[in-house]
Amino acid sequence: MNYFKQILRFAKPYKQYAILNIIANVFYALFGTLSMISLFPMLKVLFNDTKALNTKPIWNGISDLKTYAEQYLNYFVTQKRNEGTDDVLVFMVILIVSIFLLKNLFGYLAMFFITYLRNGVLKDIRNELYHKTMALPIAYYSEKRKGDTMSRIATDVLEIQHSFLSILELIVREPLMIIFTIASMFLISAKLTLFVFIFIPVSGFFISLIGKSLKRKSGKVQKEQGIFLSIVEETLSGLKIIKGFNAEKIFGHKFETSTNRFYKFSNSLLNRQNLAGPTSEFLGITVIATLLWYGGQMVLKDKSLDAGLFLVYMGLAYNILTPAKAISKASYKIKKGNAAAERVLEILNTESPLKDKTNAITKSSFKDNLLISNVSFKYEDTYVLNNFSIKLNKGKTLALVGQSGSGKSTIANLVTRFYDINKGSITIDGQDIRALSKHSLRNLIGLVTQDSILFNDSIKNNMLLGQKNATDTDIIEALKVANAWEFVKELPNGIDTNIGDSGNKLSGGQKQRLSIARAVLKNPPIMVLDEATSALDTESERLVQDALENMMKNRTSIVIAHRLSTIQNADHIIVMQKGEIVEQGKHEHLLGLKGVYNSLVKMQSINTPTE
Ligand SMILES: Nc1ncnc2c1ncn2[C@@H]1O[C@H](COP(=O)(O)OP(=O)(O)O)[C@@H](O)[C@H]1O
Ligand SMILES: [Mg+2]
């Protein structure tokens, strides 16, 4: 119920639809009950059971409703008889048809209005989930499967719509229907109705038995959905490796294991849930059978009940079954919906640890220096950076070199604040970056990552991420700087060419030049290049190298280099090993040390003799 309340918050903007729905439902329930009762005069007339009455009855208030209605009917029929026509029957038929028509009209209207609420809530939860998904820090996803998050946005939200929100549909209609029906049953025979009441707690008990464990079962099903979606997602992105390693069998097996579990879980869930309908129908018919026995005696033996009324009464009692069934089903749906809501709210209620402070500073320029002082950082249990300090002055280029795993990319992650440091501080112009708004910090920094991250869109739209107001000329200019224009201009649609999923229609080097161009277009004061040239062949590397040097001239850059040839001209080179600085200085100085740097350079010149 707790989750239900939290989800209900999303219904608030659609309040007016809820109100219209309630109004329509009141009429639906009213006409629903009347439609049963309207059969009564029909029966009376058919059985020729009306007493002659020539005086119009007098209205004595609601307490006398039953007598008044009966007398009025007798009066009406007598009148018509006196006129000597068949109009009574026609009138009754018209009455019944119109009441049923009204009932169904209002039933449709009620659903019509609630549809906007249901789908609106679905839309809003999805939107909020998506925004939250982007807002949560990268670390949040390191242990989570992408498919699981996708499944929450896609299927769990849908489950909420199916289960929780379908309850909104019933929450007014069915109870009202029951209240109206029971009220009319009371009017017909209080004794019989009290007798029915004994059965309600008994039925409730049986129904609640079935509902147990439904939430747990449903949670399992939803979770499994996340698992197999993850496998699909991984398969699609790793298709080349799966095929290349002939690993189809392994993945096929993995997937089938998951769908098998899904099969088992959902069988058990569905079977449990399917018990609801039959059980409540059987319980209902038991009640009716008992009624038949008890009420039948009232009609036949003590003649305390009119036969026609008893028929209507039975009709009403049966009429209660449908809403009662719907309500017992709804209680299962709540349990099922709870499991889905829990998974959705888990994301929505996660507070990002990297959230901007309330008085976060907006910084729009870089004047002086970037300082990393005594920083220690760990992703999980072991520190990957220890007491690490560097200073980068405006206009200078700082290079980070070292074996893979030495913590170079980690520095890029920390400066851009994808993660927060554990100890020490990172400041820009003396301002701690944790005090800045993330938006303004990231506006100051241009990032080119190790793996060029591009999107399935045109070259132009990929570039526009860097600066959304850029003109085509700006884009071409940036492409030229990154030496990407030479291949882009050859493409069939130029900058409007679609580059495929993750840019896979391009070569590795082309992708990398494109992501460099994107950073160039953004034109930030600080540039962070994480092995931006690693996927380039020697020739294009030279092209890009010139471009990078051009670009870095008036900029402050942190260059993480895989190829040492790209950083020889850096103002300062930091040699890292296991998260610590082992050597630093200029290229010549480091060579002279004949230490780690020297051996790294030597290794590379053997491996790549062309350089
Ligand atoms: N998301 C992560 N979660 C846990 N450990 C990580 C993560 N990213 C990197 N590491 C670890 O941190 C260390 C430094 O990694 P990284 O900075 O990427 O190295 P480099 O860029 O120098 O090759 C490595 O030992 C790596 O295993
Ligand atoms: Mg790296």
First to last CA, the chain: 68
Q: What average pLDDT does the structure give for the chain?
A: 86
CA of 395 relative to ligand 2 center, distance in Å: 24
Residue 17 has pLDDT above 70, yes or no: yes
Q: Which atom of ligand 1 is nearest to the CA of 530?
A: 21
Asked if residue 575 lies in contact with residue 390, where contact means CB atoms within 8 angstroms, the answer is no
Residue 611 has pLDDT above 70, yes or no: no
Can you give the pLDDT at residue 401?
Answer: 92
CA of 410 relative to ligand 1 center, distance in Å: 6
* Residue at 271: amino acid letter: N
Residue 610 has pLDDT above 50, yes or no: no
Residue nearest to atom 20 of ligand 1 (CA): 405
pLDDT grade for 262, boundaries at 50, 70 and 90: very high
Domains, the chain, in order of start with CATH, read 2-215+277-348 (1.20.1560.10), 369-607 (3.40.50.300)
Residue nearest to atom 12 of ligand 1 (CA): 384
Return the minimum-mean-pLDDT range out of 276-285, 387-396, 461-470, 592-601: 276-285
pLDDT grade for 157, boundaries at 50, 70 and 90: very high
> pTM of the prediction?
0.82
Can you give the pLDDT at residue 250?
Answer: 92
77, 83, 87, 92: CA torsion to nearest 10: -10
List, as one string, the DSSP characters of 131-200.
HHHHHS-GGGGSSS-HHHHHHIIIIIHHHHHHHHHHHHHHHHHHHHHHHHHHHHHHHH-HHHHHHHHTHH
Can you give the pLDDT at residue 473?
Answer: 95
pLDDT grade for 470, boundaries at 50, 70 and 90: very high
Q: Which ligand is nearest to the CA of 451?
A: 2
CB atoms within 10 A of CB 530: 22
564 exposure class (CB count in 10 Å sphere: 0-12, 13-18, 19+): buried
Q: Indicate the top mutation candidate among 377, 379, 558 to test ligand 1's pocket, ranked by most ligand atoms within 8 A of CB.
A: 379
Q: Which ligand is nearest to the CA of 413?
A: 1
CB atoms within 10 A of CB 387: 14
> What is the SS3 assignment for 63?
helix
Asked if residue 572 lies in contact with residue 398, where contact means CB atoms within 8 angstroms, the answer is yes
CA of 147 relative to ligand 2 center, distance in Å: 25
Structure token pair of residue 257: 């294991």
pLDDT grade for 83, boundaries at 50, 70 and 90: confident
Q: Which ligand is nearest to the CA of 404?
A: 1
Q: CA–CA separation, 521 vs 3, rounded Å?
A: 46
Average pLDDT over residues 158-181: 82
Can you give the pLDDT at residue 153?
Answer: 92
Closest CA to 167 of 328, 31, 341, 29: 328
Can you give the pLDDT at residue 606?
Answer: 57
pLDDT grade for 167, boundaries at 50, 70 and 90: confident
Residue nearest to atom 5 of ligand 1 (CA): 379
Residue 5 has pLDDT above 50, yes or no: yes
Structure token pair of residue 174: 């069915």
Pocket-forming residues, ligand 1, beta carbon under 6 Å = 142, 379-380, 384, 402, 404-410
* Residue at 8: amino acid letter: L
Closest CA to 163 of 10, 330, 347: 330
CA of 606 relative to ligand 2 center, distance in Å: 22
Q: Which residues of 277-305 are buried (b: 16+ CB within 10 A; e: fewer)?
A: eebbeebbeebbeebeeebeebbeeeeeb
Task: Indicate the DSSP class of residue 360.
Answer: P
Residue 607 has pLDDT above 60, yes or no: no
